Amino acid sequence: MVMDGFLNLNKPSQVTSHDCVAAVRRLLGTRKVGHGGTLDPLAEGVLPLAVGRATRLLPYLAADKAYRAVIRFGLTTTTDDLEGEVLSHCLATDLTLATVQAALPEFVGTLAQIPPAFSAIQVEGKRLYDLARRGQVVTPPPRTVVIHGLTVEGWQAGDYPELTLDVDCGPGTYIRALARDLGQQVGTGATLAHLTRTRSNGFTLETSLTLDQVKQQIEAQTFHLQAPEAALAYLPPLALEADLARRWQQGQKFAPPISLDPHQPYRILSAEGSDFLGIGQAELREGEPILKAKMVFKPWA
């Protein structure tokens, strides 16, 4: 079994991302497993995992994410989801979908979002959820996030109506905070009732595997990790002839064979066999472009 690559895991609800990493470590018999972005314990869906040398490629995966959220109006909680204690509740029978839809454009674009008080963000070296559990109320500093689009997928009227919403966003966006803020905007309060991550780092829910499926495939000897070059296919390629490829794999720096964008990482390939060698990027040295190795996935042997 090739032990350097990616696993598109479908995380179940009520399980932490760390628990999923630990389970995959046991199944694959390796400690070198990392994830591409934590999912809250109540959330489910896409949790990209890197195995072996691919753990060093996690920073270069595609950044955007997508979620399907169920937002319940008329209820607020300490955690901004159903895991927390109820802070307030009121009947929101009169709330209509039209009112909610009219408020949604306020949450599209670049926003200053205040994360939930129960979150993994660190303030003065301490996790916010640790402070909150000790009864220390800390207002997290706002952070800049980007929401590319919001699409209504369902509406359930009632005393506590629920909105099913597809969210296309950038990294660092808290869907719990979006639910909380949307509830404030329409005047009823709201909390996140259910969350599924449908896309993350270029991986989609449709092609994800559950832990049981991974176990079954391992037992049937049909399991394989996704090759790094497939996960990084969105990056522009740069093919190097044999001599330059060897020098690059040895960590040498040299002028790139073509003009490169210094702000853009590149997939470095061998021109001979199109083998994926790693991630490279150009930098300016004394005004001249130099190609350097950001991560050598396949060193010179």
Return the active site residues.
40
- Going by their DSSP bridges, the two strands 44-51 and 143-156 should be labelled as unpaired
How far, CA to CA in Å, does 131 sit from each of 80, 84, 173, 243?
A: 16, 15, 21, 55
Helix axes 211-219, 17-28, angle to 10 degrees: 0
C-beta of residue 66 within 8 angstroms of C-beta of residue 78 = no
Helix, strand and coil content of the chain, in percent to the nearest 5, comes to 25, 35, 40
- Residue 295 CA to residue 160 CA, distance in Å, equals 50
- Residue 276 CA to residue 229 CA, distance in Å, equals 6
Q: Give 171's Cβ-side CA count (13 Å radius).
A: 11
288: amino acid identity, one letter: E
Task: Spell out where the chain has E strands.
Answer: 5-11, 33-35, 44-51, 65-73, 75-77, 86-89, 109-113, 122-123, 126-127, 143-156, 162-169, 190-200, 203-204, 237-240, 266-270, 276-285, 288-296
